[in-house]
Amino acid sequence: MKIFLDTANIPSIKTFVDMGVLDGITTNPTLIAKENREFTELVHDILKLVPGPVNLEVVSQDSEGMIREGHDLAGLGPNVVVKCPMTGEGLKAVRKLHKDGIKTNVTLIFSPNQALLAAKAGADYASPFIGRLDDAGHEGMKIIEETLRIYQNYGLGTQVLVASIRHPIHVVEAAKLGAHVATMPPEVLDKMVKHPLTDIGLKRFLDDWEKAGLRLPEGRASPMKPKPLIQRA
Ligand code: G3P
């Protein structure tokens, strides 16, 4: 499963790019607004850091406006994916952008039927919001299971991008179901890195090492040269 970070925050993005665990970025107008920066400059900084898909959302509500914005956003970088809302106008925009060779993501999906329509319109990604469904008293993960099944039944190539993830269990469940992508806030990805037993174990190893007064060799390591697989006579 691909891991995307749901943020426009440069230090957070850099942290996880450096760990080599990040496959892409999703943003939305709320996340962009939080950064308090000029939009295009911020996006250029994100694109410099992230080689994978960078999802940027349109803000028009009519399809013509979305198509125009979609072209402008796609012009910012070859890895931009244009997010359109799950509305009739959004689907029209997705259909046209798809025909124009621009990658799209249908956002704000809350039912398997909406996910089916997003795929039929030609979306590259469909984003069900599972946390917000959980908040409203539904079982958010069920829509992931149902959407994956529907896409599989009809050989639809749209990727299921699990959005509105609130905690690491959501990520495990999404991966077990075979979702294509999970996008999550930096706090959730940070929780996935950490485990209290890892910290306790590491402390114990280092305490024992220190107590024994041991030292690793310094400055004597020779650069490793790969040995040829076949030794020639
Ligand atoms: O970016 C879309 C989605 O992941 C937002 O999540 O936490 O605002 O429900 P949330």
CATH number of 2-193: 3.20.20.70
Mean pLDDT, residues 31-53 taken together: 97
Between the CA of 4 and the centroid of ligand 1 the distance, in Å, is: 12
**pLDDT in the model for residue 233:** 45
**94-150 confidence digits (pLDDT tens):** 999 999 999 999 999 999 999 999 999 999 999 999 999 999 999 999 999 999 999
User: Which residue is closest in CA terms to ligand 1's atom 3?
Assistant: 164
Q: Which atom of ligand 1 is nearest to the CA of 166?
A: 7
**pLDDT in the model for residue 73:** 98
User: Which residue is closest in CA terms to ligand 1's atom 6?
Assistant: 164
Q: Strands, DSSP E only, in 62-173?
A: 80-85, 104-109, 125-128, 159-162
**149-187 confidence digits (pLDDT tens):** 999 999 999 999 999 999 999 999 999 999 999 999 999
Residues contacting 183, CB < 8 A, separation 6+: 3, 4, 5, 6, 24, 26, 127, 161, 162, 163, 165
Q: What's the mean per-residue pLDDT of the chain?
A: 95
Ligand 1 pocket, 186 CB below 6 A? no
Task: Spell out the domain ranges in the chain.
Answer: 2-193
Say how far residue 92 (Cα) sits from the centre of its chain: 24
**68-78 confidence digits (pLDDT tens):** 999 999 999 99
Query: Is residue 54 within a helix (H) or strand (E), and if so which, with residue range?
Result: strand 54-57
35 close to 42: Cβ distance less than 8 angstroms: yes
Q: What is the DSSP letter of 222?
A: P
**pLDDT in the model for residue 223:** 60
CA distance 58 to 29: 8
**pLDDT in the model for residue 218:** 87
User: Which residue is closest in CA terms to ligand 1's atom 10?
Assistant: 164
Q: Which atom of ligand 1 is nearest to the CA of 30?
A: 8
Is 227 tagged catalytic? no
Q: What is the DSSP string of 184-220?
A: E-HHHHHHHH--HHHHHHHHHHHHHHHHTT-----S-
CA distance 109 to 164: 11
Mean pLDDT, residues 43-71 taken together: 98
User: Which residue is closest in CA terms to ligand 1's atom 8?
Assistant: 164
Q: Which atom of ligand 1 is nearest to the CA of 26?
A: 1
The active-site residue, picked from 2, 34, 83, 225, is: 83
Residue in 132, 171, 188 to alter for ligand 1 test, most ligand atoms within 8 A of Cβ = 132
Q: Does 221 or 35 have the greater pLDDT score?
A: 35
Residues contacting 14, CB < 8 A, separation 6+: 49
Ligand 1 pocket, 55 CB below 6 A? no
Closest CA to 83 of 168, 16, 4: 4
Ligand 1 pocket, 57 CB below 6 A? no
**178-220 confidence digits (pLDDT tens):** 999 999 999 999 999 999 999 999 999 999 999 999 999 987 6
pTM of the complete model: 0.92
